[in-house]
Structure 1
Amino acid sequence: MTKLTLGTHPFLLGFEQLERLVERTAKSGNEGYPPYNIEQTSERSYRITLAVAGFSESDLSITVEDSSLVIRGRQKDENEGRIFLHRGIAARQFQRSFVLADGVEVGEASMENGLLHVDLTRKVPETVVQTIKIKRSE
């Protein structure tokens, strides 16, 4: 018995990329830091919120790379000359990736009370009907 995968199912033509995308997402290595929420804010819009306490806007970068939203954080080490008796707040860097579906666009980003908000919208594709002529074989 042959096991059918998404990319080899006979009714799903051209979905090999989706299978690779699922594999890439599973291997992305996103750790639990920083914690985040994803909420649906309307029928076609979403908001990703990351808890980035201690980071300033200049410590963060938001890019879209190969259909992925990538958010990176790197704090500058300003601890020279400081003596910590206890250091429980780590200044660690992070990279968090989110795979974007076709038609999802990244809107604006904002910071509020240690939370980074990134707004996304999903464009509704136009319905296209195409008629294919059948050639007569002679």
Structure 2
Amino acid sequence: MPVANDLLLSLDLDQLAVPAVRRDVAECAGAAGLSGVGLDDFVLAVHEAVTNAVRYARSPRVLRLWREGDRVLCEVSDGGPGIASGPSRTPTGGRGLWLMHRLTTIVVSTAPEGTTVRLTVGLSRG
């Protein structure tokens, strides 16, 4: 987790926050040096993580975005029970985790108090 000085963005998440997430993440990740297709892919992956947290998990739901060296990282944490079985393979939906895996490096951590999805992308993507 980043120290306060390294934090580029921190948001409490609810349904009302979702529309602004793409814009806010794009602005902050862009300012950190991510650009082009890499930026677009990262923003989409973060949006999927946020949508899942708001749709399926309990509060508190928090997004934190920061830069470490040549990488941009985002954690979406929630009070939900976790993700039971990896990326969905259903033909009718639930492809958010699959998409996050394709667009970023993803680590999912689940504990009794909630779940954290960490998405990482290198600045050289673009």
Asked whether the two chains share a fold, i.e. TM above 0.5, the reply is no
Larger radius of gyration: 1
State the TM-score, normalizing by the size of structure 1: 0.33
> In proportion to residue count, which structure has more strand?
1
Higher helix proportion: 2
